[in-house]
Chain A
Amino acid sequence: MNKILLVDDEESIQIVYREEFEDEGYQVISALDGASGLEKFKTEQPDLVILDIQMPGMNGVEVLRQMKMLKPSIPVILSSAYQEFKRDLGTWASDEYVVKSGNLDELKATVAKLLKKG
């Protein structure tokens, strides 16, 4: 079973994503901020990370660059409600950038594609 690490400071997002991705057959672990997300990344060894950008403390782009330094091959999807973070070239370290919406079809398809590729 593939393990997904979800890092997002919105608890409601965590609840919805966990339910949807567990229904798809994934194991979901989660963190509410960048620092604890990095810790779980090290201890839990996920197969893929879904990472919010705007979070208190360390933002998602910084977390992304730390994760990729630890394990360059880890697939990471940046997931944000905002398009404008794409202007930050630090986002290039991600494998995909998916704009958040109420419909998770695109995110699910992206997760499936990256895990298949890996």
Chain B
Amino acid sequence: MPELRKDPVLGRWIIISKERRKRPTDFLVEVVPGSGGFCPLCPGNESFTPHEVYAVRNKGAVSNTSQWQIRVVPNKYPALIIEGDLGKEGLGLYDRMNGIGAHEVIIESPQHDKNFADFSIEKMALVFKAYQERIVDLSKDQRFKYVMVFKNHGKAAGASLEHSHSQLIALPILPRMIVSELAGAKSHYNYKERCIFCDIIRQEIQFKERVVCQNDKFITITPFAPRTPFEMWILPKRHSSAYFSQSDADILALAEIFSESLRRLCGCIANVPYNFVLHTEPLRSGGLEYYHWHFEIVPKLTSIAGFEWGTGFYINPLPPEEAAGYLRESLENTSGGIHDEQDIAG
């Protein structure tokens, strides 16, 4: 019989369809060959991008030249523009404002064919550090309320260029998903005076069955009510609502577990397309006791069709307990195995 599960934060129901249960080998991933040709993100083509707003460069290298490890550039054809006032107004019962915002692209590597999952720990940490630096910088702009960081990997997940990159959008409003997440977390906190994500981490460590991997500072789980097969959440064990406030040591530990989690995922399904999104507190919140920053990695293995659009219910053919089992087994012969049970810190 199918099982309905409710996400404890969002209150979102999903359907675990055990009749349609699948194994990793049942998911057919279409391998789309690279289209080749000129790449505007490659070294040497810096003149095709707007001037960088952040970069990690080789020592002595000049801005906007080719000696770089990471570049962050504004979107060449932005949907939102950085200059201007919000111009908020009401039109009868409708609200409108000017399309003010920042849309940036984080070019994660000078190497065109290097996949994010194959980055070294140190390289991945540089990318996570770049997210931090840009969030801190954009938070100074009082017009922006939220910075959304996300990555699309693979054509099916919406990536239009093979060259590894992620994106960042600073918004003058809070996205509805974050509003719902904050409200759900606040509601739990009002009732129990505890962060719901800290409670989730404690329970998952105790139950073990949905834990994919963990290190001293972070844990990766398959959530109780995942939207897709192999959905993973990466959470800091110590309570923190603000991604930008992580230390360099935290960022390195994040890179370690992120790398391991992605390698486990790719070990289950080669060439898997996925999206990941950073969930963090709104800008200038000052630290929230009831909210907990985290990354959500969502593989693109099922399609959103009429049923999902019409009902808002996702149908997932793989129970997260089984997905976690496959993920735990996928790197059996490597050193990146599961650590012993550890208590949540802080």
Q: Which of B95-118 contact A (CB under 8 A)?
A: 105
Partner of B40, one of A67, A83, A87, A93: A93
Contact of A91 among B37, B39, B76, B105 (CB under 8 A): B76
A87 vs chain B, min Cβ distance (A) = 7
Q: Report the interface size for chain B: residues with CB under 8 A from the other chain.
A: 17
Within 8 Å of chain B (Cβ to Cβ): is A90? yes
Q: Please determine whether B37 and A89 come into contact, CB atoms closer than 8 angstroms.
A: no
Which residues of A80-118 are within 8 A (CB) of B? Answer: 83, 86-93, 97
Interface centre among A62, A68, A72, A92 (most CB of B within 10 A): A92
Which residues of chain A are within 8 angstroms of B161 by Cβ–Cβ distance?
Answer: 88-90
Closest to B165 in A: A89
* Inter-chain contact A65/B35, CB cutoff 8 Å: yes
A interface majority secondary structure? helix
Of all chain A residues, which has the CB nearest B40?
A92
A6 to B161, CA, bound (A): 25
B21 CB to nearest A CB, Å? 35
Contact assessment for B38 and A93 in the assembled complex, using a CB-CB cutoff below 8 Å: yes
A interface bracket (residues with beta carbon within 8 Å of B): 10 to 19
The contact of A68 among B37, B76, B77, B79, by CB within 8 Å, is B37
B180 at interface (Cβ–Cβ under 8 A)? no
Give the residue of B36, B38, B41, B79 whose beta carbon is less than 8 angstroms from that of A89. B41
Q: Is B48 an interface residue (CB 8 A)?
A: yes
Are B79 and A86 neighbours in the complex by a CB distance under 8 Å? yes
Bound Cα distance from A61 to B76, whole angstroms: 15
B245 interfacial by beta-carbon distance below 8 Å: no
B77 touches A97 (CB 8 A): yes
Residues of B within 8 A of A61 (CB): 160
Contact A93 B160, CB 8 Å, known A66-B37, A68-B38, A69-B38: no
Contacts of B160 in A (CB 8 A): 61, 87-90
Which residues from 43 to 84 on chain B have a C-beta closer than 8 Å to any C-beta of chain A? 45, 48-49, 76-77, 79
User: Is B77 in contact with A65, judged by CB distance below 8 angstroms?
Assistant: no
Q: Which positions in A face B, CB cutoff 8 Å?
A: 61-62, 64-69, 72, 83, 86-93, 97
